[in-house]
Amino acid sequence: MNVKRRTLLKGTLATGALGLAAAAGILKPARVLAAEWPKNAFEAKTVDEALKDVYGAGQATQSKDITIKAPIQAENGAVVPISVETKLPNVESIGIMVKENATPLIATVALSNGAAGYFSARMKMAKTSDVNVYVKSGGKLYSATQQIKVTVGGCGG
Amino acid sequence: MARLTKIKTRAKNGATEVLVLVNHPMETGQRVDPKTKQKIPAHFIQKMTIELNGKPVAVADLGVAISKDPLVGVMINGAKAGDKVKASWTDNKGESGNAETSV
């Protein structure tokens, strides 16, 4: 047990050092910890920053062709089911962001080879928040928003 | 430590829905261990790839805000009975797992 804790602590320290190096601009953080996993985007503190990191765009067009299926009121913020469905053609990517979470980006999924415009998952929400869904289709970015009320937060604890 | 990865498919509105369930803690790195007062290090799945007959259909980047024991679903158009569907994932500590099934 103790040995395990040591390793874990060491792991945390190493990450901390990397974080510092990244902050100083020495390393490109997105490529350090996991190849191709967009670390910057997942650590962004605001929706706008995350959006820029993921899609390189600051603006998205509201679209009625995106359907968000999620509870209006979630009792437990630790497990909020959400599914996104879109009728837009040629969907390349779907991204989900929760505005009020410490790091808004929940997940992105790149779709190809006959995947339909659909993605579902269960997410954590700190508190009542707008949930933004972004769909990239034919090179353009579309979005839809739904508010989800949370009774008990699912982050920290 | 091997983690349980489950995959299943079902027909839905003329397409095939693929559901992947992984037994994983998805620690955010923000929780504090009540006994040691130390932060529990983040431990979460970063990448999940779903393949149809060896071709990637969906590549998901997941963050810490995905719930514990993640259940991820995607839809595939035009998958036929007998087609192979495979899901594989890796987390931030280098653990990985995969599961395969046929439609």
pLDDT of residue A26: 40
Option in B57, B67, B93 nearest A112 (CB): B57
Choose, out of A53, A83, A106, A152, the residue to mutate when testing the contact with B (most B CBs < 10 Å): A106
Lowest average pLDDT, out of A56-60, A71-75, A145-149, goes to A56-60
Rounded Cα distance between B103 and B82, Å, is 5
Domains and CATH numbers, chain A: 1-37 (no CATH), 45-152 (2.60.40.2470)
Note the pLDDT tens digit of each residue in A78-87.
889 999 999 8
**pLDDT exceeds cutoff 50 at B28:** yes
Residue A155: band (very low, low, confident or very high) from pLDDT cuts 50, 70, 90: low
Residue A28: band (very low, low, confident or very high) from pLDDT cuts 50, 70, 90: very low
The answer to whether the CB atoms of A123 and B67 lie below 8 A apart is yes
Return the percentage of chain A with pLDDT > 70, whole number: 73
Rounded Cα distance between A111 and A91, Å, is 7
Q: What's the pTM value of the predicted model, to 2 decimals?
A: 0.77
Domains and CATH numbers, chain B: 5-102 (2.60.40.10)
Put simply, whether B37 touches A (Cβ < 8 Å) is no
The answer to whether the CB atoms of B73 and A118 lie below 8 A apart is yes
Indicate the average pLDDT of chain A: 77
Residue A126: band (very low, low, confident or very high) from pLDDT cuts 50, 70, 90: confident
CA distances from A150 to A52, A102, A103, A146, B59 (A): 27, 15, 17, 13, 29
CB proximity list for A89: less than 8 A, separation 6 or greater: A137, A138
Choose, out of A86, A111, A125, A134, the residue to mutate when testing the contact with B (most B CBs < 10 Å): A111
Residue of B nearest to A113 (CA): B57
Beta bridge partners of B8: B19
ipTM of the complex: 0.85
Rounded Cα distance between B56 and A152, Å, is 37
More confident residue, A61 or A14: A61
**pLDDT exceeds cutoff 50 at B18:** yes
Put simply, whether B11 touches A (Cβ < 8 Å) is no
pLDDT of residue A20: 44
Q: Are B58 and B49 in contact (CB under 8 A)?
A: yes
**pLDDT exceeds cutoff 50 at A19:** no
More confident residue, B80 or B50: B50
Residue B77: band (very low, low, confident or very high) from pLDDT cuts 50, 70, 90: confident
pLDDT of residue A23: 43
pLDDT of residue A153: 65
Residue of B nearest to A83 (CA): B73
